[in-house]
Amino acid sequence: MKLIRTVKVKNDLGLHTRPATVIVKMLQSYKSSVHFTYKKDIINARSIMSILMLALRKNASIQITVEGDDAEETISALVNAFENQFWEKL
């Protein structure tokens, strides 16, 4: 199964090291392949360096593409993390 969603970066500092680490650690629990698309760049979301290289600022919109058997659970967890600003405000 292949799912695609568009999300917006809500963190004041953009997608910096802390939220990138949350993404990479979160994806260790899932088997699906996950890619982020920003402008013309497509990266493997399991790579913290690739995420950081996108240099995503606040309000940047990115496309999440998830493909695999647990795609629904994976994309749901990622969208939730983006919506909750990776729990940085807690």
Contacts of residue 57, defined as CB under 8 A and 6 or more positions apart, other chains included, come to 9, 14
What tokens were used for 25? 């650690």
Residues involved in catalysis:
16
**Per-residue model confidence as pLDDT tens digits over 45-88:** 999 999 999 999 999 999 999 999 999 999 999 999 999 999 98
User: What domains does the chain contain, in order, with CATH numbers?
Assistant: 2-87 (3.30.1340.10)
What tokens were used for 6? 């568009």
How many angstroms separate the CA atoms of 80 and 20, rounded? 14
- HSE-up (13 A, CA, CB side) for residue 61: 3
Write down the pTM of the prediction: 0.94
At 90, the pLDDT band (50, 70, 90 cuts) reads low
